[in-house]
Structure 1
């Protein structure tokens, strides 16, 4: 029998049992759709993290607290501290970097008129926008004199302004807010930077002078990090080497003792974030693939039922000259068509779900061509794998016994 005739007979069999065919495809549709949607979420999260880290600049080197070592053993809980003295040494003794910017931060309650929000309060120096690549939307940044004078002035992020009920940022300039009960004058609002990932929004923050944060708000000299700006990517290794030398001297670490601080570049953050999002992407895709396997088992079950129901039909075809290969191809084509058609619908459903999540919930989603190809090929493979057994069973039926079957 020609292949075209075999295909026509297989499609006719599926058309006769429309409802059963649709229900059989449902498992594949859900599975493929889930795979596409989950991979889109994972890829979108990865792209958002990459975009945000790249926005910080590829020449940014960050010094952060490290583990405390006691007797050569790293503590699992204690972390060393970065002090303002470390910042002063890096500022006065460094020769390879173009800027040094320290940061201390805490999450605190902020009030403006009747609105309030809890946000990240960052104590930093006046060069914060240059090092961190922020731009001022309205108003201006505080100055070094504001820092030395410990003035209670603040520059607010765009998201924070929105959370405080401000629709026109320009109207916030000159107004007074309260941070943990302490009054601050708003002198500027950052332009929106974007790149929010989950609960981490770079526009949801308030930056105040380091001296003000240290003496009037936080009451500590502990720093969260110290940022160094290398003149170029080629100089990053030199910057890291000199920073390590100065920090070891500042912390009075003897020769042979491990560092109690870490020096990281944007590439380090990028690799860590990429590995984390990759794990979650694979986890989500794995859960979705289970749906495909369940759908494949459902197809095998339905095809076995179909073979039983059409035993006499198989007997008639064999009596009329249909070969074992023809019967095998017919039932296998039915299974593959079910999975392939379900895969196409699933791709549309998954792509649509990703678009809805992006537009309705503002989640970062990114549908990739490889994920669509993999999902479709996998769905077709499911049809072949789970369709072989029912097809072989139908092909192996004895024509005489099949004709007698009731």
Structure 2
């Protein structure tokens, strides 16, 4: 008996016991679908987080300082370091976060991200202007009360970008003039606290608003991501010379955070895939039990075939292929169910989740392997039956 004949007999046996075959496959279907759904959803969520980090700039690094009375780095010193290392850095800006309430007329906003920055910030973040201009060096030097509004602010408070330009907005009660509007960042939704609910001030004005004499946060952008390690080392060496204590400053490179996130994605996928894979092992036990029942039911058939000259390897082949076909069909159905469910679940929770080829290939391969592994013992039992004892079976 060749493999094709064994395959046809396996399909005939499966079709002849449709309900039992379906229940046998059900464990495989659930296991395969679970692996695909969990791994794909985790990858989709992690990809969203990764895109968020990437949008912040993989060539950027943040510097956080703890300034003391006798040990501190002022803005002029940071700019001097930046100018001395133009071969490593392309942009630099102080960064001053302001907790503020924005108001225009009777409308007010409380969730806006208000940040004091330099004239380099727009190019560093790869943002564009929809109207007007960005903050200039003269605004910073003279602490001008000007600001650049996000797209959400322009529409929420003024009705349009054109209406917002050159209008006055109150920031914690102080009047500032809007000199520019940032182009829309989120094409899907304009919402409070979103990526378009932002406001930029000259960092000198923001520091004054916060009553901050010494700025403690800076953002650097390297001229090339290949320079990240060297740029970080240069920054840390410079700051160590001032602070004499590495606990008083921290330099964080976005590219390093991205590498850590990639490792976390891989680990989470493996862990969740392994957890879901346990259901495939349980399904394998189900396949083995059903195949043992099948051997018991077909004992006389096995005896007749042996009496007619069927060899041990032919009997073995027939039952192993039947187990493999059963688990393979379950794997195919599981892939379809898992793919559809992944798309639906991803849409429901608002992420772009698609079945990953790796999850599909691994889960299907495991399902076939389980059929072969757990089908071996029943097949071996059938192959080792004595023809005489098998023919006597009722």
Band the TM-score falls in, shorter-chain normalisation = 0.7 to 0.9
| Equivalence for 1:130 | 123
For 1:116 and 1:399, locate their aligned partners in 2 and report how far apart those are by CA, in whole Å: 87
TM-score, with normalisation over the residues of structure 2? 0.79
Q: 1:161 to 1:22 in 2, by over 3 A?
A: farther
| Equivalence for 2:134 | 141
Q: 1:319 to 1:170 in 2, by over 3 A?
A: farther
From 245, 251, 257, the equivalent of 1:269 is: 257
TM-score, with normalisation over the residues of structure 1? 0.77
Q: 1:377: how far off?
A: 1.4
List aligned pairs for 1:227-246, cutoff 5 A: 227-233=219-225, 236=228, 239-246=231-238
Report SS of the residue matched to 2:134. coil
Q: 1:228: how far off?
A: 1.6
| Equivalence for 1:248 | 240
For 2:58 and 2:217, locate their aligned partners in 1 and report how far apart those are by CA, in whole Å: 17
From 218, 224, 242, the equivalent of 1:226 is: 218
Q: 1:81: how far off?
A: 5.9
From 145, 149, 154, the equivalent of 1:151 is: 145
Bigger mean CA offset, 270-279 vs 50-59: 50-59
Structure 2 residue runs without a partner (length 5+):
none
From 341, 351, 354, the equivalent of 1:363 is: 351
For 1:310 and 1:293, locate their aligned partners in 2 and report how far apart those are by CA, in whole Å: 26
For 1:42 and 1:28, locate their aligned partners in 2 and report how far apart those are by CA, in whole Å: 21
For 1:29 and 1:279, locate their aligned partners in 2 and report how far apart those are by CA, in whole Å: 24
Q: 1:20 to 1:249 in 2, by over 3 A?
A: same
For 1:179 and 1:402, locate their aligned partners in 2 and report how far apart those are by CA, in whole Å: 92
Q: Deviations over 1:292-334 (max 9, x none)?
A: 2222222222222222333333333333333322222222111
| Equivalence for 1:314 | 302
Q: 1:372 to 1:172 in 2, by over 3 A?
A: farther
Q: 1:6 to 1:47 in 2, by over 3 A?
A: same
From 68, 76, 85, the equivalent of 1:96 is: 85
Q: 1:151 to 1:294 in 2, by over 3 A?
A: farther
For 1:369 and 1:209, locate their aligned partners in 2 and report how far apart those are by CA, in whole Å: 48
Bigger mean CA offset, 146-155 vs 388-397: 146-155
Q: 1:380: how far off?
A: 0.8
Q: 1:48 to 1:209 in 2, by over 3 A?
A: same
| Matched residue count | 382
Q: 1:137: how far off?
A: 3.4
Pairing 1:61–2:61 present: yes
Structure 1 residue runs without a partner (length 5+):
66-79
